[in-house]
């Protein structure tokens, strides 16, 4: 199994190109199920989750062509997806269980084929992650839903889904994607209240509009979708990955140096950039990206609470905790989105970090110097917090079980070594 070996202590200097966002690319690929015409996506990242979703979509009858899959350049792939016919409305356990987002096919399948049989999802083990709000929304659109042997079996009413008012009791990115996609082909108007307004939701909404969907309120808490009879093909570029950008910003803050995060947009991660600034990094937004800089000054302890966008992203919590392990003083990190997202704490302790967890609250007392260690990747974002802690630690670090990293970070070791990190992948 692959590992990452790195030696800490180098400052990072240079440019890191930020890839297309995994969390936008996956629902955009799924949106191809909504039309018989080709959907062309530019800037699709090369990630294991993307390849896995290709398999799932091909099983439903989507024809997929990828341009640039093997390219050594760090630009994204161009992917053409065409679902001329939906040949199978079942998403089987073997394909769905490794990736939660694959459950989202349920929305487009129901909307276009009027039925879906989708395995309950897997994905990162960061809490119970129920699907009740997806089912609530789909039922409101008129679907009849049963759970049968681990599968959600859903049927649209005669004539297809119908528009409805859906008020989510809590903000959910996944269910907002699914209901928004399903509603594009429903009869009548759907209003989603308390919708997620993450940049990836906005990106998908903008692509759906290019495909002929009628959506207003994009980027706000209330989405209004007027159903149309059919959608058509379109070309869309995947938005830059704010989580990848935030991760490298934290890496640069930890090691010191100066890095330009090319293509990243500050408004997509302002909450995290504000915390980095408070911690002592210098952050400037430029025309072609975000520049992050820290000279010899120490890192200050800063408290953080995760929240739906525009708040501090749960997907950056582990990395920020990594940074706080070497801050001057005590910081408090509260996770409000998931109940089990502190699995990186035990691994960070192996670097000599001082972290105490009480329920959803972690208290981090900074130490003057982390020391390299053998650590184990547990989930996607936790894994990368171990890499960035290793970059700042003294001596050698080996991160085991890195398949989690390959799910979400494109060419991590190439990007980091290009800016001066001593890092390599060890195969086998
Ligand atoms: C969440 C994050 C997203 C992140 C992703 C991967 C938020 C709001 N969402 O998205 O930014 O990229 O994790 O780490 O920060 N929930 C239910 N019932 C449901 C659906 C969700 O109770 O049917 C709960 C979840 O358990 C969670 C919260 O609602 O506590 C947010 O869920 P949701 O946004 O759907 O999760 P993801 O789409 O995985």
Ligand 1 site-directed mutation target among 123, 174, 242, 334, most atoms within 8 Å of CB: 174
Please state, as a whole number, how many other Cβ atoms lie within 10 Å of the Cβ of residue 394: 14
Residue with the nearest Cα to atom 25 of ligand 1? 129
Mean pLDDT of the chain: 94
Alpha-carbon distance values, 419 to 13, 202, 399 (Å): 5, 31, 20
CA–CA dist 227, 317 (Å, integer)? 37
Distance 172 CA to ligand 1 centre (A): 5
For the CA of 128, the closest atom of ligand 1 is: 26
- pLDDT (tens digit, 9 = 90+) per residue, 368-383? 999 999 998 888 888 8
Is residue 325 within 8 A of residue 354, CB to CB? The reply is: yes
Its sign, for the CA torsion 311, 96, 342, 350, is negative
Mean pLDDT of 255-269: 97
Q: In which band, very low, low, confident or very high, does the pLDDT at 128 lie, cut at 50, 70 and 90?
A: low
Mean pLDDT of 146-173: 95
Ligand 1 site-directed mutation target among 136, 172, 175, most atoms within 8 Å of CB: 172
Mean pLDDT of 326-339: 94
The verdict on whether 207 is a catalytic residue reads no
pLDDT for the residue numbered 75: 76
In 3D space, the residue among 38, 46, 44, 42 whose CA is nearest the CA of residue 20 turns out to be 44
Q: Is the CB of 130 under 6 A from ligand 1?
A: yes
Residue with the nearest Cα to atom 39 of ligand 1? 174
Q: Does residue 338 have a pLDDT over 90? A: no
pLDDT for the residue numbered 180: 98
Q: Is the CB of 308 under 6 A from ligand 1?
A: yes
CA–CA dist 17, 139 (Å, integer)? 42
- pLDDT (tens digit, 9 = 90+) per residue, 303-332? 999 999 999 999 999 999 999 999 999 999
pLDDT for the residue numbered 70: 76
- pLDDT (tens digit, 9 = 90+) per residue, 77-89? 999 999 999 999 9
Q: Does residue 279 have a pLDDT over 80? A: yes
Its sign, for the CA torsion 134, 135, 141, 145, is positive
Count each helix (H run) and each strand (E run) in the chain, helices first.
Answer: 14, 24
Mean pLDDT of 271-275: 98
Highest mean pLDDT: which range of 118-122, 292-296, 419-423: 419-423
Helices 132-140 & 173-183, crossing angle to 10 degrees?
20
Q: By three-state DSSP, how is residue 347 classified?
A: helix
Is residue 104 within 8 A of residue 133, CB to CB? The reply is: no
Distance 314 CA to ligand 1 centre (A): 9
Tokens of 204: 């998908």
Q: In which band, very low, low, confident or very high, does the pLDDT at 100 lie, cut at 50, 70 and 90?
A: confident
Is residue 54 within 8 A of residue 29, CB to CB? The reply is: yes
Q: Is 208 exposed, middle or buried (0-12, 13-18, 19+ CB in 10 A)?
A: buried
Q: Is the CB of 251 under 6 A from ligand 1?
A: no
pLDDT for the residue numbered 4: 95
pLDDT for the residue numbered 83: 98
Is residue 78 within 8 A of residue 152, CB to CB? The reply is: no
Q: Nearest 5°: CA angle at 201, between 303 and 415?
A: 65
Q: Does residue 28 have a pLDDT over 50? A: yes
CA–CA dist 392, 78 (Å, integer)? 35
Catalytic residue among 33, 79, 124, 386: 124
pLDDT for the residue numbered 213: 98
**Is residue 24 within a helix (H) or strand (E), and if so which, with residue range?**
helix 22-31
Radius of gyration of the chain (CA): 21
CA–CA dist 137, 338 (Å, integer)? 21
- The residue behind tokens 């699907």 is 131
Q: Does residue 127 have a pLDDT over 70? A: no
pLDDT for the residue numbered 156: 98
Residue with the nearest Cα to atom 12 of ligand 1? 315
Q: In which band, very low, low, confident or very high, does the pLDDT at 125 lie, cut at 50, 70 and 90?
A: low
Q: Does residue 126 have a pLDDT over 50? A: no
Q: Is the CB of 195 under 6 A from ligand 1?
A: no
- Express the helix, strand and coil content of the chain in percent, nearest 5 each: 35, 30, 40
CA–CA dist 183, 162 (Å, integer)? 8
Mean pLDDT of 228-247: 98
In 3D space, the residue among 293, 257, 249 whose CA is nearest the CA of residue 273 turns out to be 249
Q: In which band, very low, low, confident or very high, does the pLDDT at 68 lie, cut at 50, 70 and 90?
A: confident
Q: Is the CB of 133 under 6 A from ligand 1?
A: yes
Tokens of 110: 């129901």
Ligand 1 site-directed mutation target among 173, 319, 407, most atoms within 8 Å of CB: 173
For the CA of 337, the closest atom of ligand 1 is: 30
Distance 235 CA to ligand 1 centre (A): 28
Q: Does residue 409 have a pLDDT over 60? A: yes
Please state, as a whole number, how many other Cβ atoms lie within 10 Å of the Cβ of residue 37: 16
Q: Is the CB of 129 under 6 A from ligand 1?
A: yes
- Cα–chain-centroid distance for residue 146? 29
Mean pLDDT of 374-396: 92
Residue with the nearest Cα to atom 10 of ligand 1? 173
Q: Which position has the higher pLDDT, 163 or 1?
A: 163
In 3D space, the residue among 349, 305, 342, 303 whose CA is nearest the CA of residue 325 turns out to be 349
Its sign, for the CA torsion 31, 33, 35, 41, is positive
Lowest pLDDT segment from 219-233, 298-312, 360-374, 395-409: 395-409
pLDDT for the residue numbered 165: 98
pLDDT for the residue numbered 1: 80
Is residue 239 within 8 A of residue 203, CB to CB? The reply is: yes
Q: Does residue 288 have a pLDDT over 60? A: yes
- pLDDT (tens digit, 9 = 90+) per residue, 166-219? 999 999 999 999 999 999 999 999 999 999 999 999 999 999 999 999 999 999
pLDDT for the residue numbered 27: 98
């Amino acid at each position: 199994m692959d590992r990452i070996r790195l030696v800490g202590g180098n400052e990072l200097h240079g440019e890191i190109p930020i890839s297309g966002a995994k969390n936008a690319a996956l629902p955009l690929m799924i949106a191809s199920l909504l039309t018989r015409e080709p959907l062309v996506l530019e800037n699709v990242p090369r990630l294991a989750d993307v390849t896995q979703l290709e398999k799932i979509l091909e099983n439903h009858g989507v024809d997929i062509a990828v341009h640039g899959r093997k390219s050594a350049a760090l630009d994204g792939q161009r992917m053409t997806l065409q679902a001329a016919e939906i040949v199978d409305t079942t998403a089987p356990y073997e394909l769905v269980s490794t990736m939660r987002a694959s459950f989202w096919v349920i929305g487009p399948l129901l909307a276009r084929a009027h039925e879906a049989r989708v395995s309950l999802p897997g994905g990162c083990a960061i809490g119970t992650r129920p699907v009740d709000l997806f089912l609530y929304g789909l039922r409101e659109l008129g679907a009849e839903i049963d759970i049968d042997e681990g599968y959600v079996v859903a049927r649209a009413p005669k004539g297809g889904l119908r528009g409805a008012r859906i008020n989510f009791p809590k903000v959910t990115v996944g269910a907002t994607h699914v209901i928004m996609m399903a509603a594009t082909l429903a009869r009548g108007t759907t209003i989603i209240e308390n919708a997620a307004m993450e940049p990836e939701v906005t990106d998908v909404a903008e692509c759906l509009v290019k495909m002929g969907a009628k959506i207003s309120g994009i980027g706000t808490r209330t989405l209004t979708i007027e159903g149309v009879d059919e959608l058509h093909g379109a070309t869309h570029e995947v938005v830059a990955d704010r989580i990848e950008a935030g991760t490298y910003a934290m890496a640069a803050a930890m090691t010191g140096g100066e890095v330009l995060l090319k293509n990243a947009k500050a408004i997509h991660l302002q909450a995290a950039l504000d915390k980095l600034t408070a911690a002592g990094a210098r952050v400037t937004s430029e025309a072609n990206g975000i520049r992050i800089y820290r000279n010899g000054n120490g890192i200050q302890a800063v408290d953080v609470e995760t929240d739906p966008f525009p708040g501090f992203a749960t997907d950056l919590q582990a990395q920020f905790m990594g940074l706080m392990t070497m801050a001057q003083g005590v910081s408090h990190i509260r996770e409000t989105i998931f109940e089990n997202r502190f699995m990186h704490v035990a691994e960070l302790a192996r670097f000599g970090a001082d972290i105490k967890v009480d329920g959803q609250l972690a208290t981090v007392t900074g130490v003057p110097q982390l020391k390299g260690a053998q650590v184990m990747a547990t989930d996607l974002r936790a894994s990368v917090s171990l890499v960035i802690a290793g970059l700042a630690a003294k001596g050698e670090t080996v991160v085991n079980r890195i398949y989690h990293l390959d799910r979400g970070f494109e060419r991590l070791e190439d990007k980091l070594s290009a800016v001066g990190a001593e890092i390599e992948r060890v195969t086998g």
